[in-house]
A and B are shown apart, each in its own frame.
Chain A
Amino acid sequence: MTSITRRSLVKSAAAAGAIAGSGLTDWARAWAQASPFRPEQGAQISLLRWRRFVEAEDAQFNKMVAAFTQATGVRVNVSSESFDDVQPKASVAANTGTGPDLIWSLYSVPHLFPQKCLDVSDVADYLGKKYGGWVPLAEAYGKTGGKWISIPVAVNGGYINYRISMLKAAGFNEVPADTKGFLEMAKALKAKGTPVGFPLGRATGDGNAFAHWLLWSHGAAQVDEQEKITINSPETRAALTYAKQLYETFIPGTAAWNDSNNNRAFLSGEISLTANGISIYAAAKISQDAKQREIAADMDHAFWPTGPLGRPAEIQLAFPMFGMTYSRYPNACKAFMAFILEAEQYNPWLEAAEGYLTHMLNAYDSNPVWTRDPKARVFRESAKRSFPAGYKGPINEKAATAIADFIVVDLFANHCTGKEDVEGAIRLAERQLRRIYR
């Protein structure tokens, strides 16, 4: 199929070594023969992905990449960028028309430039039919105007991480399931000298998760279904008032926290509770440091409490993958996306991620990662409990801009830090939303 050079031989040999024993080589070859997605002759593609938080996930991902190369002869160059840097790189690539063929990004990034993304409806339909259908969130993130512009590979569930012993000391056996009880717990934890902490700074993942939960669980939303701005509402006021009370129980410094600060503070025992993916637990469990393994044994996860809205209202970090229209090898891009979501590839990867990634295809509910360790249990639900970014409005570039501009995070940060009163914080957010949703 492709011309064989010394280099590609060496590379394939290395790849074969990497996946030897998994028995995947034969499967991958057979897949390439049978797959409806056939890469172009001599194709090679580059992929930009977010930088991993769980090492085993990355290692398994690279094995999949090697298996894909082995089966199809398509070389895949993988580079990674930290969460915050994927979007600017993707935006520049879309604007200049050069850059990676495939981008694996966060939230609604492809909706910033939908006309630059490959139409991957055929891949999505193929996978959906084969694996029990997509969850509604996947359709919300993957589709625009009736066609799929990205393949929502997974979401990263973010939930409450807490120290069992510290909660017990404060008189709680588990995290209360409602916002009212949650505030009482936070106050009790502060009184015990083991405060909670949620990021209110430029934390793309955890900051957005916290702020959107505050907003949505109180029944508020930035816009309604028709994109009418609804941020100026009694529900938002209630959310802000609640947030301020909660903020008073926080450890100092959270206004400057990014996505890694809460991990560090939790692992050093400075805080008793925060919101995060499973990465704190996964890293601590296998740490060389006995103290960290102790923390892993002493921690558990819980759902975000339900607020006045009366049902789960979470934002989970979606990871859509999309091809760029400027790519010379669109079919290779499609083949790659289909390949990694096949059960033979996806299942071991989901296991390796240890709950950091949650599937969006219903068939993967039965993956053993969700039953092996009861502490990972809550993360199985993250794709089903999450609202899409920009809720209640549609996901489009306006919703993507609102997330990228940290409008909801700043709404709460402005009020909690005392920079603005309730009305001032709402006015600022409303003003910005008006410009975005015009």
Chain B
Amino acid sequence: MADAAIARSDARPAPGEPSAWQQLKVNRNWLGFWFMVPAMAFLVLFLVYPLGKGLWMSFTDARIGREGRFVGLENFEWLSDDSDFIRALIFTLVFTFFASAVKFAIGLYLALLLNNNLPFKAFIRSVVLIPFIVPTVLSAVAFWWIFDTQFSVITWGLVKLGILDRGSPINWLGDPFLAQCVVIFANIWRGIPFIAITLLAGLQTVSPSLYEAATLDGASKWQNFRYVTYPLLTPIIAVVMTFSVLFTFTDFQLIWAMTRGGPVNATHLMATLSYQRGILGGNLGEGAAIAISMVPFLLAAIMFSWFGLQRRKWQQGENND
């Protein structure tokens, strides 16, 4: 009896049991997969492939117009001994750290200010966005003029005020250290609105009743911020700062329009150095290696945000660490 049953099921599928092809067509689990395919193809094409290709190129001596040979870690070995690369790496970290920290501090302060009831609130809020809206290249060119050694409006003003001698201009973009400060300043100017407006959106979700309750309990302004606003804002701070760090770390336009990495390669970020070596110098393999060297740092920033966001207390603001 049992044998017969097995023989039958071998011969053809039992009624109601679809074939493999039909399974693929109608099974709900497969259907989910099919729905995901376009998105996956999209990601593979535009994300995985370029990243994979970049990774591969960093192990070759590819040049523009010519496929490279596999050279293993040669590019990375070369870079580890390259003082310009090491300087670019350090400057990128310093640049990211300083710019992000200052942007956060000022952005948060601005968001708190804008959250108050001000006259012309909507107008002021949109004005704050201007640095973010102006195309980066445009603002960078403006900064380039503001900090030109010969024609700087700041120098001009100081001379007119009698603070500075006419013959001794400030060597803004010509001095490596000053040039580094200037590009950090420009990046801060540009990045503040993004943080301020996003944090402002976060602030508006905080229920006023919480402040009322806290005030009734005798909380001071500072305590209001420290124990009500800040804990409720932490999830959004985590997101905003992740983005801010990523944007700052990968900044390119600003540096390129203002200094091209000069003077004497002092303001190269990894992104600009990668472009300089890969596209201008024609050494695609080395350029790719510099770009790939950025990945661990970017990954660390993403991981930080990922695990930060996974924590329930961050999301709900139950505890304030």
Please report A residues at the B interface, Cβ cutoff 8 Å.
84, 87-88, 91-92, 94-95, 112-113, 115-116, 193, 200-202, 251-258, 261, 264-265, 268, 270, 397, 400-401, 404-405, 410, 413-414, 417, 419, 428, 431, 435
Contact = CB atoms under 8 A, between A and B. Distances in A.
B65 A94 contact: yes
B65 A256 contact: no
A400 B282 contact: yes
A255 B262 contact: yes
A270 B260 CA distance: 24
Nearest to A84: B260
Contacts of A202: 259-262
Interface stretch (B29-37, B89-97, B167-175): B167-175
A405 to B, nearest CB: 4
15 contacts: A94-B64, A252-B168, A255-B176, A255-B262, A256-B259, A256-B263, A261-B150, A270-B150, A397-B282, A400-B282, A401-B283, A413-B262, A417-B176, A417-B263, A435-B78
Contacts of B149: 251-253, 256
B281 interface: yes
B280 A256 contact: no
B9 interface: no
B276 interface: yes
Nearest to A258: B260
A201 B260 CA distance: 9
A261 B265 CA distance: 18
B310 interface: no
A417 B171 CA distance: 12
Nearest to A253: B149
Of B167, B179, B280, which is in contact with the most chain A CB atoms at under 10 Å from its CB? B280
A114 to B, nearest CB: 8
A413 B263 CA distance: 8
Contacts of A410: 264-265
A217 to B, nearest CB: 22
A428 to B, nearest CB: 7
Interface in B235-284: 259-265, 276-277, 279-284
Given A113-B64, A405-B276, 18 more contacts: A88-B280, A91-B65, A91-B280, A94-B64, A115-B65, A201-B262, A253-B148, A253-B169, A255-B262, A255-B264, A256-B149, A257-B174, A268-B151, A397-B282, A413-B262, A413-B263, A414-B264, A435-B78
Contacts of B64: 91-92, 94-95, 112-113
B169 A252 contact: yes
Top 8 closest pairs, chain A to chain B, by CB = A253-B149, A113-B65, A255-B263, A253-B174, A256-B173, A202-B260, A256-B174, A405-B281
B79 to A, nearest CB: 11
Given A91-B282, A112-B65, A401-B282, A264 B277 contact: no
B28 interface: no
A424 to B, nearest CB: 9
Contacts of A413: 262-264
Interface in B158-196: 167-169, 171-176, 179
B282 A268 contact: no
Contacts of B173: 253, 256
A91 B168 CA distance: 42
A163 B73 CA distance: 54
Contacts of B167: 193
A254 B264 CA distance: 11
A431 B282 CA distance: 17
A375 B261 CA distance: 36
Contacts of A256: 149, 172-174, 179, 259, 262-263
Of A91, A268, A410, which is in contact with the most chain B CB atoms at under 10 Å from its CB? A91
Contacts of B117: none
B313 interface: no
Contacts of B53: none
Nearest to A89: B279
B83 interface: yes
Contacts of B262: 201-202, 255-256, 413
Contacts of A254: 174
Of B260, B264, B276, which is in contact with the most chain A CB atoms at under 10 Å from its CB? B264
A88 B276 CA distance: 10
B12 interface: no
A116 B277 contact: no
A419 B82 CA distance: 15
A268 B149 CA distance: 13
Contacts of B125: none
Nearest to A416: B264
A360 B2 CA distance: 97
B66 interface: yes
Nearest to B166: A193
A86 to B, nearest CB: 11
B150 A265 contact: yes
Contacts of A401: 281-283
A405 B175 CA distance: 21
Given A91-B282, A92-B279, A252 B260 contact: no
A430 B64 CA distance: 23
Contacts of A95: 64-65, 284
A91 B167 CA distance: 43
B151 A264 contact: yes
Contacts of A200: 263
A115 B280 CA distance: 18
Nearest to A252: B171
A91 to B, nearest CB: 4
A127 to B, nearest CB: 26
Contacts of A261: 148, 150
Contacts of A201: 260, 262-263
Contacts of B284: 95
Contacts of A404: 280-282
Contacts of B66: 113, 115
Interface string B192-213: 0000000000000000000000
A50 to B, nearest CB: 15
A253 B171 contact: yes
A87 B82 CA distance: 25
A25 B162 CA distance: 64
A410 B263 CA distance: 9
Nearest to B174: A253
A24 B263 CA distance: 49
